[in-house]
Amino acid sequence: MKKLISSIIFVTLTLLATAQKGKLFKGMYLQWGYNKEWYTKSNIRFKLSNGDNFKILKATAHDKPDLDAVYKKPAEISIPQYNYRIGFYLNESKTKAIELNFDHIKYVVTDGQTARVKGTINGVKVDGDSVLNPSTFLHLEHTDGGNLLHINYVQQNTLLMNKANTRPLITFLWKAGAGINIPRTDFTYRGDRFNNDFHVAGYNFSGEAGARFYFTKRLFLEGTGKTGYVRYLNALANTNTSKGNRVRHGFGYFELVGLIGYDFKF
């Protein structure tokens, strides 16, 4: 994960340096924060190298905020579900921006649920209900994490000016974007656990809206609600012993995001 974050920051700084030569951007902002998610049910397809090929229909899942880690291990701020954004203003009034958006979400298929399983297991056709249990059947989670990386277009408008009428105090903003998923999938099958590698595994798109409150001219808090769709085309199910194990599924989500940010003027 640290290598992934370092690569993203390097690309961003390179983009910034290149853009400034042509004076494309009028300023930038940096943000860090945390999130909470809710997911729709998902049909999850497993295609394994041992020949097992089946679907779990309408599986339920939940997130894993781990927000208590913020005070238990404050030096490890990336344990919880987190967000960071790097935005570039396209005009002097800051009403338009392009934003690099990274959401470290966690997706955990709920253990103990009964779900319909359809396909082939051990060479036998199956079509019936089964309890999702890690020791007897399986467990799946994208918890290091779901990792949604995308580009947003951002539109911002002033709702309230400060008393001196010299700068915005509260603004409304909306965003829309799309990008790729870079998960690390933790998969347990019949008691054997495989914690896989980070890789590009699919795509996502989303819309977002909320508000900013400026404490000062540059320091602000941002709160938004976000909804979108995530599609995993080839999440890894087991890279430790064999190749060809893949997971495919898609789901909708709703996310609450809280961030602190800082504006920089060029």
Alpha helices per DSSP H over the chain: 2-21, 69-72
Is the N-terminal amide bond of 112 cis, ω within 30° of 0? no
pLDDT over 60 at 239, yes or no = no
The mean predicted confidence, pLDDT, of the chain is: 90
Q: Which residue has the tokens 């001196």?
A: 164
- What domains sit in the chain, N to C, each tagged with a CATH number? 2-265 (2.40.160.20)
Cα 41 → chain centroid: 17
pLDDT of residue 195: 80
Q: What is the mean pLDDT of residues 114-123?
A: 96
Strongest mean pLDDT among 72-81, 198-207, 243-252: 198-207
pLDDT of residue 1: 59
**Which one-letter amino acid corresponds to residue 50?**
N
pLDDT over 70 at 34, yes or no = yes
Q: What is the mean pLDDT of residues 199-221?
A: 96
- In tens, the pLDDT along 6-20 reads 666 666 666 666 555
More confident: 255 or 3: 255
Q: Which residue has the tokens 């347990």?
A: 188
Judge contact between 140 and 84, C-beta under 8 A. no
Q: What is the mean pLDDT of residues 221-237?
A: 95
Phi and psi angles of residue 119, each rounded to the nearest 5 degrees, phi first: 150, -145
pLDDT of residue 237: 79
- What beta strand segments (E) does the chain contain? 27-39, 42-47, 53-59, 61-62, 82-89, 96-104, 107-109, 114-121, 124-131, 138-142, 148-161, 168-181, 185-189, 192-195, 202-214, 219-236, 246-265
Cα 7 → chain centroid: 17
Band the pLDDT of 25: cuts 50, 70, 90. confident
Band the pLDDT of 165: cuts 50, 70, 90. very high
pLDDT of residue 16: 62
Cα 237 → chain centroid: 19
Q: What percent of the chain has pLDDT over 90?
A: 72
Band the pLDDT of 35: cuts 50, 70, 90. very high
Band the pLDDT of 200: cuts 50, 70, 90. very high
Band the pLDDT of 50: cuts 50, 70, 90. confident
pLDDT of residue 143: 92
pLDDT of residue 197: 84
C-alpha 164/C-alpha 59 separation (Å) is 54
- In tens, the pLDDT along 68-113 reads 777 777 777 778 999 999 999 999 899 999 999 999 999 999 999 9
Cα 149 → chain centroid: 7
Q: What is the mean pLDDT of residues 57-62?
A: 98
